[in-house]
Amino acid sequence: MEKILKRYFPLFVLPTLIAFTVAFIVPFVLGGYLSFTKFTTVTDAKWVGIGNYIKAFSNKDFLSALWFTARFAIVSVLSINIFAFALALLLTKGFRGTNLFRTIFFMPNLIGGIVLGYIWKLIINGFLQHWSVTLTYSPSYGFWGLVVLMNWQMIGYMMIIYIAGIQSVPDTLIEAAKIDGATLWRILRSITIPLVMPSITICMFLTVSNSFKLFDQNLALTAGDPANRTSMLALDIFNTFYGKVGWEGVGQAKAVIFFILVALITLPQLLLTRSKEVEQ
């Protein structure tokens, strides 16, 4: 049986391979190629070498977007994971209505980014009206607005992953620790956290990559205002690609840089948190 399966392996893998090639490998390679060309549509590309990359790095909007995104990612990754973990701890203590709370906290995640961004824009502008300013008054308003929005949306999702992790911690271990006289803090540090490390790996990865790739919330909340100073990388790439005549190639180059950057950040992060995982 195994032998037959092995013999027909290429045949079985073919449909998936074709789909993968068409949907991922071809666009991926084409995308890389286009970043070295000047083009209006993908069929009339002219080779220009690394010119696009030089333009991308000398473009001050891109550099400011990079810096803004980096700051945003650090703040939101920390806050989302801390809040989500705290909520998960609370909601595994067996309070009344735990399920209701879990559902409620998870719900914001079901709303699309554009709608969320628009709603938060109204809320924040309404709040700021007391001081006769709007969200676009200063880039830091937009920054904190995005952090709040992202937290509100992502905490529930991460919380669910943490809850699953915490629930898989065997009660026997905790009981044994209690009998040995461990404090709650000690139990958390020495038993719960090491055992939920796989959840932390996933949550860190999701929050880091989502913070870097944030687009629709950014577009709906500030659209880069004031003066492109709250544009994140994805929005800046979009604006370059569609907003500037003749800059499509530069937009593509930025996208490639963006990809490499996110890969460079998330892969070590995966390795690092994974090395901390323990086998039960």
Partner 1 sequence: MKMKRVFSAVLGSTMLMSMLAGCGGSTETSVAANGGEIYFLNFKPESAEIYDKITADYEAETGVKVKVVTAASGTYETTLKSEIAKSEPPTIFQINGPVGYQNWKDYCADLKDTKLYSYLTDQSLAVSSEGNIYGIPYVVEGYGIIYNDAIMQQYFSLTNKAVDISSMDQINNFDTLSKVVTDMTAHKDELGIEGVFASTSLGAGEQWRWQTHLANIPFYYEFSENVNFDNSILAGLDAKTVDFKYSQNYKNIFDLYMNNSCTEPAMLSSKSVDDSMAEFALGKVAMVQNGNWAWGQISGVDGNTVTEDNIKYLPIYTGIQGEESQGLCIGTENYFAINSKVSKEQQDASIAFLEWLFSSEKGKAYVTNDLKFIAPFNTFTEAEKPADPLAKEVLNWMSKDGVKLVPWTFSCFPSEDFKNTFGDGLVSYAQGQEDWQAVEKTVKDAWASEVAAKAE
Q: Does 177 bind partner 1 (CB under 8 A)?
A: no
Q: How far is the CB of 93 from partner 1 (least distance, A)?
A: 25
The pair of structure tokens assigned to 217 is 């919330």
CA distances to 30, 35, 245, 264 from 256, rounded to whole Å, are 11, 7, 19, 12
Residues 248-277, one symbol each (x = binds partner 1 by CB under 8 A, - = not), give: x--xx--xx-xx--xx--xx--x---x--x
- Tokens 């569609």 correspond to 242
Name which position in 222, 232, 236, 249 contacts partner 1 (CB under 8 A): 222
Span interacting with partner 1, options 20-28, 91-99, 112-120, 184-192, rule CB under 8 A: 20-28
Check residue 24 and report its DSSP letter.
I
Q: How far is the CB of 10 from partner 1 (least distance, A)?
A: 21
Q: How far is the CB of 77 from partner 1 (least distance, A)?
A: 16
The residues near 267 (Cβ < 8 Å, ≥ 6 apart) are: none
Name which position in 19, 21, 27, 175 contacts partner 1 (CB under 8 A): 27
Span interacting with partner 1, options 70-78, 100-108, 149-157, 216-224, rule CB under 8 A: 216-224
Q: How far is the CB of 34 from partner 1 (least distance, A)?
A: 7
Name which position in 9, 24, 47, 95 contacts partner 1 (CB under 8 A): 24
Residues 145-159: b if buried by 16+ CB within 10 A, e if exposed: bbbbbbbbbbbbbbb
- For residue 210, which of 31, 68, 72, 20 has the smallest C-alpha distance? 72
Q: Does 109 bind partner 1 (CB under 8 A)?
A: no
Q: Does 134 bind partner 1 (CB under 8 A)?
A: yes
- Residues of this chain, 39-98, that bind partner 1 according to CB under 8 A: 40-44, 55
95 backbone dihedrals φ, ψ, rounded to 5°: -65, 165
Q: How far is the CB of 57 from partner 1 (least distance, A)?
A: 15
Q: Does 200 bind partner 1 (CB under 8 A)?
A: no
Span interacting with partner 1, options 73-81, 99-107, 152-160, 239-247, rule CB under 8 A: 239-247
Whether residue 170 is preceded by a cis peptide bond, meaning omega within 30 degrees of 0, is no
Q: CA-CA distance, 88 to 203, in Å (whole number)? A: 13
Query: What stretches of 58-112 show up as alpha helix (H) in DSSP?
Result: 60-90, 98-106
Q: How far is the CB of 145 from partner 1 (least distance, A)?
A: 13
Neighbouring C-beta atoms of residue 41, cutoff 10 Å: 7
The residues near 158 (Cβ < 8 Å, ≥ 6 apart) are: 80, 81, 84, 85, 203, 206, 207
**Residues engaged in binding partner 1 (CB under 8 A):** 23-24, 27-28, 30-32, 34, 40-44, 55, 125, 129, 132-137, 198, 201-202, 205, 209, 213, 222-228, 237, 241-248, 251-252, 255-256, 258-259, 262-263, 266-267, 270, 274, 277, 279-280
